Amino acid sequence: MIIIKYKTFFIGLSVLLVIVSFFLMHTYGIKRGIDFTGGSVIDITYGDNIPVLNAADFKNEDISLYETGPNTYRLISSKTYESISDTIEKLANPDKETPFVYTQISTVGPTLGAEMTKKAIIALIVVVLMILAFIAFAFRHVSHPLPSWKYGVIAMLTLLHDIIIPTGIYTILSHNFGAEVDTLFIIALLTIIGISISDKIVVFDRIRENLKTGGKQPFNEVVGKSLKQTFTRSINTSVTVILALLALYFFGPVTTKYFTLTLIIGMVVGTYSSIFVASPLLTVWNRNK
């Protein structure tokens, strides 16, 4: 199959994207939300008349201002809402003639934020390790030409690929549009891991079945045959999910747009790695064995 024939290109492209993602994270940094640092997120909505707001004025008060819609703004600060409410009233309604309403006010203490950071990291590590153990157990009867634990290692590596690239792209959104790494972002990563590993297991399972019935057929041919049998199913499943996510992105609430966009990016990257990276890596490992 053409994927196996040009595996060096597809794997190299993934490596390049991972390197670029690390570069973006190093350059821009990962901007954590109040869920992990503590502080306040305040959404305000205006009527027909919207004043001209100067982001620099808010910055002087330790408040970041982001436009989230035609009539809506989001204010993010490391302070509590009570300590900045008067400042917001003064800066958001400078002429006293353009009133606004609060649509959301969220405040998290610094202690809770540190605890959530710790738990989020532990959750990601535990999920990846459990998936590695599950695949090694599920493929325990596959010992030729690769032992079962190698399937688990490759699945784990490609899962890291599936969350590193969306995180790298998210840093651009964070730098330019104020997107923050919050609880919804962690949920998006865990969802990406779950959907992506499901796709990879389907492909690996097909390889396992074809190894049992393929006789002495070369391993590369078995992998290529398996990819051909699962290619359409993987693409159709991903496209169906992405279409639903696009509807949520364009017609859903503003507060879930970055969450939805992360899922869309993760679905694309996860599908790519399941087809063009995970199985070709098996053939590379077998060749170098």
Give the residue among 177, 166, 187 at the shortest CA–CA distance from 270.
166
Over pLDDT 90: what percentage of the chain? 20
Lowest mean pLDDT among 51-55, 72-76, 153-157: 51-55
Which helix (H) or strand (E) covers residue 153, if one does?
helix 148-177
pLDDT tens column, 157-214: 898 899 999 999 999 888 887 788 888 888 898 889 888 888 888 888 888 888 877 6
Give the residue among 255, 247, 256 at the shortest CA–CA distance from 191.
256
pLDDT at 48: 77
Task: Give the C-alpha separation, 84 to 107, whole Å.
Answer: 12
Task: Give the C-alpha separation, 238 to 63, whole Å.
Answer: 39
95 φ/ψ angles, rounded to the nearest 5 degrees: -95, 0
Asked if 4 and 223 count as a contact pair (C-beta separation under 8 A), the reply is yes
Amino acid in position 106: S
Amino acid in position 56: A
Task: Give the C-alpha separation, 286 to 280, whole Å.
Answer: 10
67 φ/ψ angles, rounded to the nearest 5 degrees: -85, 120
Architecture of domain 39-108: 2-Layer Sandwich (3.30)
- Cα distances from 275 to residues 109, 261, 270, in angstroms, run 43, 22, 9
Task: Give the C-alpha separation, 224 to 182, whole Å.
Answer: 40
Asked if 106 and 41 count as a contact pair (C-beta separation under 8 A), the reply is yes
Question: Per 3-state DSSP, what percentage of the chain is helix, strand, and coil (rounded to 5)?
Answer: 70, 10, 20
Give the residue among 105, 115, 106 at the shortest CA–CA distance from 37.
115
HSE, side-chain direction, 13 A CA sphere, residue 230: 28
180 φ/ψ angles, rounded to the nearest 5 degrees: -125, 150
Name which residue leads in pLDDT, 288 or 249. 249
Model confidence at 289: pLDDT above 60: no
CATH for the stretch 2-33+111-288: 1.20.1640.10
Tell me: cis bond preceding 99? Omega within 30 of 0 counts: no
Paired tokens of 195: 């959907």
Q: Where are the domains of the chain?
A: 2-33+111-288, 39-108
pLDDT tens column, 217-270: 888 888 888 888 888 888 998 999 999 999 999 888 777 888 999 999 999 999
Paired tokens of 1: 């199959």
User: 110: pLDDT confidence band, cut at 50, 70 and 90?
Assistant: low
